Chains A and B, each alone.
Chain A
């Protein structure tokens, strides 16, 4: 990555951008350098997370939302994350199937990513990809992830506005609510409102929102009740309303100062996890070769307990150089 490449990324060169995203995905040293250089130019885009159970219509919805945003003159980048198979390490990234209407629009950039080994549905590198797209000047960066436990928390940290998608007929409306999904939702969507059961899903959501509202994201609880929007993504219905709700949420974040609080929490969380990783690497480097594995052996033989193992390894590593 030369300085020229970085300038090209910031100037909207799609090939340079795509190549940098590959570097980011592979966590190369070049990517690290590029992310450092781009960091001052981040923090401008509206970061929107879209999550929900498989098949609820997230990709269809993202495509329709992008169309509305494009009509408003906004440029849109989409990161679509699909799960990596834990057995083969490969992935089928199929979200573009639902986004074909966006083809040929120079104001839209779509990138598919595999979740790789990352816990939950959010690739470890997704947050970095979002940073690159933000620095590349897109007004909105939308991240689609399959909602599965941990990923919801991750997306809540990365995105400014989190959209949770439900759909009737999956039999898991209640389960979704139980999984604490309401706690991360800034906007709730009942998609497939054309299908039977949509009314029931809407009612169930409304009811649980009333009960669970105190559990809404702490930093925005004041003055923001997540709106519930009914959509039919395949017919483009309800999308203007959805785009309006997303804008209102962003305005609310700004007006209340919650955007700063959220960003601070995100940066702190990111710093913490980086520190954790770096410290761990340093510690490992200061141990004798094989010492980690030997400690595991001792644990297995019950010659050592886990907390004792930590003490022993920390002592053996000595002060961090």
Chain B
């Protein structure tokens, strides 16, 4: 037996072409000892759900800067449930206005981070989300 690592998928849905933030988060999670699957720009919810399934990830982190989070996030959750992966927590970062957070959480998003969230906070949230998922296995 080897120690189980957290497998986290960092995905960048939507059409905007900036992935600097996503890469910073990916590196921070790597530095926290996680296996980070990074899939690059312009991922559709279908692509993200498929990658999450094949990679059997513990957590999904979405970086959304396009403002399309209210459409993309619920769609992804729906696909995950259809795949039998409804238990995989989804976290969102990017430019999420505070007033959207309650609706996102109501839709099933585990955590939504506004701009300026520290990488430490994101790392801690991913750890907690993975721990909660493992506890239910």
Contacts and interface: CB of A to CB of B under 8 A. Distances in A.
Contacts of A109: 54
B34 A112 contact: no
A88 interface: yes
B123 to A, nearest CB: 10
A147 B51 CA distance: 25
B27 interface: yes
Interface residues of B, number: 33
B39 interface: yes
Given A19-B56, A22-B56, A26-B2, A90 B40 contact: no
B55 A111 contact: yes
B73 to A, nearest CB: 19
Contacts of B35: 90-91, 93, 112, 114
Contact of A88 (B31, B54, B84, B85): B31
A85 B30 contact: yes
Contacts of B34: 90
B1 to A, nearest CB: 6
Interface string A56-100: 000000000000000000000000000001001111111011001
Contacts of A94: 38, 40
Contact of B55 (A27, A85, A91, A112): A112
A18 interface: yes
Interface size grouping (class) on chain A: 20 to 34
Interface in B40-87: 40, 43-44, 46-47, 50-51, 53-56, 83-85
A93 B6 CA distance: 13
Contact of B36 (A25, A90, A111): A90
Nearest to A85: B30
Contacts of B37: 93, 96, 112
A18 B5 contact: no
B41 to A, nearest CB: 8
A305 B135 CA distance: 48
A96 B51 contact: yes
Contacts of A110: 51, 54
Interface in A20-35: 21-22, 25-29
Contact of B33 (A15, A89, A112): A89
A14 interface: yes
Given A97-B39, A100-B39, A116 B53 contact: no
Contact of B32 (A88, A93, A103): A88
A89 B46 contact: no
A90 B29 contact: yes
Nearest to B40: A97
A318 interface: no
Contact of A27 (B2, B36, B38, B83): B2
A88 B2 contact: no
Given A92-B27, A94-B38, A100-B39, A18 B55 contact: yes
Nearest to B47: A103
Contacts of B5: 89-90, 114
Nearest to A99: B39
Given A28-B1, A90-B34, 6 more contacts: A18-B53, A19-B56, A90-B31, A91-B36, A96-B40, A103-B46
Interface of B: 1-5, 7, 26-27, 29-40, 43-44, 46-47, 50-51, 53-56, 83-85
A-B pairs with lowest CB-CB distance, top 6: A97-B40, A90-B30, A18-B56, A89-B33, A103-B47, A90-B33
